[in-house]
Structure 1
């Protein structure tokens, strides 16, 4: 009997079958449930635990890219896992303003439990396949996963096509977001506590409540309704002196240019308003921030130990004198 090759299946039919198989895989692996892999975590958080465990020291931005999540979603996941004692942030040895993510002992225990669950799930399924079919499955899935990754990597994110937008002025929720950004960062790096968070929230609320006002402005980096970066100018037109305050950028936006863009807008503002001097407080050790300030003309004017924020640190006062015309 002659062998006759059957006609190739149409591309449309192949697409429909792959979509059907993909939906079935999602259901059978448990991704439709609110929790995954014998844990109390959502599927995205389970994947975050696994990625951090496999890549100790990964930063929030790279984690977001790996998981195909937007930065604000990733930040919320990390904050929840920190609160649950699963993840901790450590200062990057290369940049004191950047954080590396590591699993805690509790997070490592959860990762091992997830691994056991997944291994048993896959092992049970593979027992139903012949060895040759198992290898064919591996090759096919590898090809399909690589094709998806190449296609997704070539496309901009639909969730945030242009990244966070910079908005000027108060917007609902920004006070809590900014206070939270400050509290998490300075607790991790400088051991500040409730006193510091309360002070940031109280003073920022009073400032925002007075807007709009002469010589004062607030800029926010906003993505999906959340504030992920901020900077304010609190100026007094009568003295010609402005105070740069509440400058912070979420870890997921480090290296994105957000900080420099906020500084550019702020310096344009103080020059347009005619302020002769702009000053700020920071702490010794924040080298990346210092380089940014100095690139905009700020210089260190004084340095001393202080505890006005609830913990003893080496405080530094920087100021920028408005360039004179023609110089």
Structure 2
């Protein structure tokens, strides 16, 4: 029964989102380039030297329809063919200068219409929307979900700088945090490198690429602080955040810490959900006007390990 309900919920979302995309497509993909032709132009631009078969298989286009599109684009000087040096039977497709101009116009139109769609959303709702989309993409990505090798390890020379970079890039892109936040992160990491007694920093790697981090620093002999917990949004839904959290808390227990606390902000809903899952409780709130144009609410969360 639960399985049927899950299927129906997914189909319900699919119907709703298809309608949303349909409204955008109607505004963007008008004649003389309907939706499928615009997708072909986009794919040729991205691949820059692909065969018609590769485009057809990627987009799921009928062989005859694809042939007509290629012929039309050749006649209208949108694309040109070049014989493959590896296989003389194959011809590679490229956009002409005119074709690139068309592609750029499609991108501008798409950006404008999507901008209209999200202009009424608050920053909080927009960040939730982006995170949810990244989660869906991650879950259904074969590369991330089924073929990726995930590992958690202690930091090595060169990792700390990348952890700062990951924070700055992710929080600027997702939440609009400014330079003061990046300075705050780098300052703390620099102090950690000078004195890491009682703590450790771990990075999460996917196929050898650093995609997240977490750290424990010693506040005193009995109290630890959890810091620099971040995960690239493209890798949500793979259980990496859970692995990082369990690594950090296991370290605290091994070091016989009796209490762990952390500071976060109220807009980080995915992280707050994870903290609640691991029995952290919200204990303090304070305003922060330094990182973005509006006021953030910083939150302190605490976990008492002595009760375990």
Q: State the TM-score, normalizing by the size of structure 1.
A: 0.52
Counterpart-to-counterpart distance in 2, 1:234 and 1:97: 31
User: Aligned pair in 2 of structure 1 residues 29, 315: CA closer, same or farther (>3 Å)?
Assistant: same
Q: Which of 194, 203, 226 is equivalent to 1:244?
A: 226
Task: Verify the 8 A CA contact 2:262 2:300 in the aligned structure 1.
Answer: yes
Q: Which of 200, 210, 230 is equivalent to 2:185?
A: 200
Matched, 1:217 2:281: no
Tell me how many residue pairs correspond in the alignment.
209
* Aligned residue number for residue 300 of structure 2: 317
Query: 1:163: Cα distance to partner?
Result: 3.2
* Aligned residue number for residue 169 of structure 1: 155
Counterpart-to-counterpart distance in 2, 1:203 and 1:26: 56
Find runs of 4+ consecutive structure 1 residues off by over 4 angstroms.
Answer: 18-27, 90-94, 155-158, 308-311
Q: In the TM superposition, what are the counterparts of 1:240-319 in structure 2 within 5 Å?
A: 240-307=222-289, 309=291, 312-319=295-302
Structure 2 unmatched runs, 5+: 1-52, 55-82, 116-122, 135-140
Counterpart-to-counterpart distance in 2, 1:156 and 1:25: 31
Counterpart-to-counterpart distance in 1, 2:303 and 2:93: 58
Which structure has more helix as a fraction of its residues?
Answer: 2
- Rg larger in 1 or in 2? 1
Query: 1:288: Cα distance to partner?
Result: 1.9
Quote the RMSD (CA, aligned, Å): 4.3
Task: Verify the 8 A CA contact 2:285 2:300 in the aligned structure 1.
Answer: yes
Task: Verify the 8 A CA contact 1:99 1:251 in the aligned structure 2.
Answer: no
Q: Which of 128, 144, 160 is equivalent to 1:95?
A: 128
Task: Verify the 8 A CA contact 1:301 1:319 in the aligned structure 2.
Answer: yes
Query: 1:95: Cα distance to partner?
Result: 3.4
* Aligned residue number for residue 167 of structure 2: 182
Task: Verify the 8 A CA contact 1:271 1:322 in the aligned structure 2.
Answer: yes
Query: 1:205: Cα distance to partner?
Result: 3.0
* Aligned residue number for residue 233 of structure 1: 216
Query: 1:26: Cα distance to partner?
Result: 7.3
Secondary structure of 1:29 counterpart:
strand
Counterpart-to-counterpart distance in 2, 1:199 and 1:219: 19
1:190-245 residue CA offsets vs partner (Å, 9 max, x unmatched) = 432112112212321331354xx442111101235532100010114x43111111
Task: Verify the 8 A CA contact 1:186 1:192 in the aligned structure 2.
Answer: yes
Q: State the TM-score, normalizing by the size of structure 2.
A: 0.55
Q: In the TM superposition, what are the counterparts of 1:115-130 in structure 2 within 5 Å?
A: none
